[in-house]
Amino acid sequence: MKLQDELPLDHHLATVYRWGAAFCGVVLLVFGSLGFADELSPFNTNGDSIAGMSSNGALSSISVAVGLILIAGAAIGGNVASTLNMTVGTLFLLSGFVHIFILDRPANILDFGMTNVVFSFVMGLVILTFGMYGRVSSKLPHDNPYWQRRHPREAAQESLTRRRQPDPAAKLPTGTGRTALPGAARSSGSRHSR
């Protein structure tokens, strides 16, 4: 599915993508803002702690930037929010793996500790799950736009079948049989008079 193919505005998947991106964006924004409030130096690796995780000014800046990007994605919604969630979630997972190998080394310029690595994995999985929800699965419902995109023939056949079925609203209301129609009594009475 291409990025420019938007979900219908009222599709429930768009709501999931929006709320997921907004929630994770706010969490990152709060974490980064707490780092700024403590006036952490940019590349300090002395183990200053914010919300149980080690941090410095650079990590706070990155957290705020990513949080704002996720909130912007939530404002846009649709496939943009979904793709953004999947991208950011993947980057968080990769960051967790990279920082496992550089803990307690000079390359750890963001002052990651083990709690940061765990947070990176957890947040990455949460963001990734929000992005993939209803998009990556073998058992998507047939009204799902991603399923329809991957199975165009079946989707076209189901759409044609739905269009051929009679509209239930077009049926006569119950109790409107032949005898209840106006003039039915007259026509039956006129038959008896002959």
87, pLDDT greater than 80: yes
147, pLDDT greater than 80: no
Q: Residue 3's pLDDT is what?
A: 38
What value does the mean pLDDT take over residues 56-77?
Answer: 90
Q: How far is CA 116 from CA 34, 36, 42, 95, 130, in A?
A: 15, 17, 17, 10, 21
Residues 152 and 154: their CA atoms lie apart, in Å, by: 6
Burial 30-69 (b: 16+ CB within 10 A, else e): ebbebbeeeebeeebeeebebeebbbbbbbbbebbebbeb
Q: How far is CA 135 from CA 20, 31, 45, 52, 144, in A?
A: 14, 29, 40, 34, 8
Rounded percentage of the chain residues whose pLDDT exceeds 90: 25
Q: What is the mean pLDDT of the chain?
A: 75
Residue with tokens 């979900």, as numbered in its chain: 7
Position 130 confidence tier, pLDDT thresholds 50, 70, 90:
confident
Q: Residue 105's pLDDT is what?
A: 85
Q: Residue 145's pLDDT is what?
A: 62
Residues 26 and 156: their CA atoms lie apart, in Å, by: 40
What's the whole-model pTM score? 0.65
What value does the mean pLDDT take over residues 121-132?
Answer: 90
Q: Residue 148's pLDDT is what?
A: 64
Position 123 confidence tier, pLDDT thresholds 50, 70, 90:
very high
Q: Is 134 left (phi over 0), alpha (psi -120 to 50) or beta?
A: left
What value does the mean pLDDT take over residues 41-45?
Answer: 65
Q: Residue 150's pLDDT is what?
A: 62
Tokens of 35: 């780092």
**Between the ranges 15-19, 40-44, 68-72, 82-86, where is the mean pLDDT highest?**
68-72
Do residues 123 and 92 lie in contact, with contact meaning Cβ atoms separated by under 8 Å? yes
14, pLDDT greater than 90: no
More confident residue, 44 or 36: 36
